[in-house]
Amino acid sequence: MRPRSSSTARSKCASTASAWTPRSAASFRPSKRPPTRSLTSRCSPSAWPTARWAARSGWPCWARSCLAASTPASRSTLGVDYGASLACRGGGSVALVHLLIGLLADVVFDKTGTLTSGTPRVARVVCHTRALDEDALIRLVAAAEHGFQHPIARAVRRLAADRKLSVPAATTTASQIGLGVDVTVEGRHVLIGSRRFMESRHVGLAAAEADERAAHGAGGAATFVAVDGELAGLLVLQDELRPEAREAVSALKARRMRDIVLLTGDHPEPSRAIAELLGLRNHYAELSPDEKAKLIHRLKREGHVVAMVGDGVNDALALEEADVGIAVPGGAEVASAAADVVIMSGGLDRVVRALDLAAETIAAVRRTVNIAAQANLGVVGLASFGLAKPLASILLTHGITLGAAIITTRQPAQTRSPRRRRPALHKNVRRSSSN
């Protein structure tokens, strides 16, 4: 595996999601070198001198036979998902294999949109100014969030549509990924975001502390709204845990993963509640996209092989920094571009299936190497003693390679789709006729 350039990744991910295209994402992903390719590259230099020495020890016919038998026949590793709805980008499939080879493995999950449904609802709207009622506050927030695809923006737009509110257009828009947005709507300066974002803009939040504690106590997240530099209100959002999240985490624990970590940009209280429900020991909250990537980098420096599972723009840096980045369906395009493996459909159970497929792949690669190496050594031995002619050596070598490839790419028995059996109508007919 080649080391990645963190500076390039950070400069690319600093832009908004609208700046990302498949073409720019292709240049964003550095090339990976599969571990299996490194293995064959290490073996080839020693295999060739051995064959050349054996060829020099006999007659010219033996020499041609030895050279034919030792000529490397390349084969590409095919990633087959057998209905698991997985797409590997670049070296994604072999990266998963690398994950399982590691002695230590951490699986890091993002919370919002990954472990949760990703479709939060606005459970409560609290106004902290007499100049704006709930509908007026929702109009401003919906206008500010227009054009954004993160879960909070979609939840606010759904609420505005349900109340049949006319949403004005924002004249200027600026966003700070993972923290908030800064817009101008109808001549008003509107800020929407987390506590950290508001504090960075010197907005006082003392009046909303009680409402914030109540929201966190109910397992919700608080998003603050400021108008013209003053606190205008907050939105309480509720997001449900994915139904398959507990089963997926339990399955990963059963596969002896070293640790399963939860990270999020939300407040510590909601993340602690999710971590307790899933039985996770380590969870990190109020992380910016850059801090998520730094956490992944720290785990890697400690010698851990890390897989990151995410879905949003905020996760792109962490997906890129991880040894294996896995993007769940329904996420942002930038997350899919930064990931090694993209789950096209299904839920978190596909993450477990991806690891199982990687285990099957590495077992198949080892089986192929053993078969091909032992058989080819036998052919070289036959050629060295003149028992195999050049044509026979070529046929044997390529036949062995083809057979090993067939064995490797053969679908495992447990993943084959069962054949449909036709109903035994003739038996019933015979019985009825006999009666």
How is domain 1-117+241-410 classified at the CATH fold level?
Rossmann fold (3.40.50)
Helix ranges (H only) for 107-208 are: 134-144, 151-162, 195-200
The CATH number given to 121-238 is 3.40.1110.10
Closest alpha carbon to 140 in 119, 124, 158, 156: 156
Predicted local distance difference test score (pLDDT) of residue 12: 36
Predicted local distance difference test score (pLDDT) of residue 359: 72
- Distance between CA atoms of 343 and 350, rounded to whole angstroms? 7
- In sequence order, the β-bridge partners of residue 288 are none
Instruction: State the catalytic residues.
Output: 110
Predicted local distance difference test score (pLDDT) of residue 377: 74
Backbone angles phi, psi at 352, to 5 degrees: -65, -40
The residue ranges of every structural domain in the chain are 1-117+241-410, 121-238
> CA distances (Å), 404 to each of 342, 368, 388, in order?
29, 5, 21
- In sequence order, the β-bridge partners of residue 324 are 307
pLDDT tens-digit profile of 376-393? 777 777 766 666 666 776
pLDDT tens-digit profile of 31-77? 444 444 444 555 555 555 655 555 555 444 444 444 444 444 434 33
- Distance between CA atoms of 170 and 183, rounded to whole angstroms? 7
SS percent in the chain: helix, strand, coil, step 5: 50, 15, 30
Q: For residue 423, count CB atoms less than 10 angstroms from its CB and return exposed for 0-12, middle for 13-18, buried for 19 or more.
A: exposed
Predicted local distance difference test score (pLDDT) of residue 94: 57
> CA distances (Å), 256 to each of 251, 260, 348, in order?
9, 10, 17
Instruction: Dump the DSSP string for 226-255.
Output: EETTEEEEEEEEE-PBPTTHHHHHHHHHHT
Closest alpha carbon to 106 in 311, 319, 296: 296
Low-confidence ranges of the chain (pLDDT < 70): 1-86, 89-104, 172, 175-178, 361, 383-390, 393-394, 401, 404-435
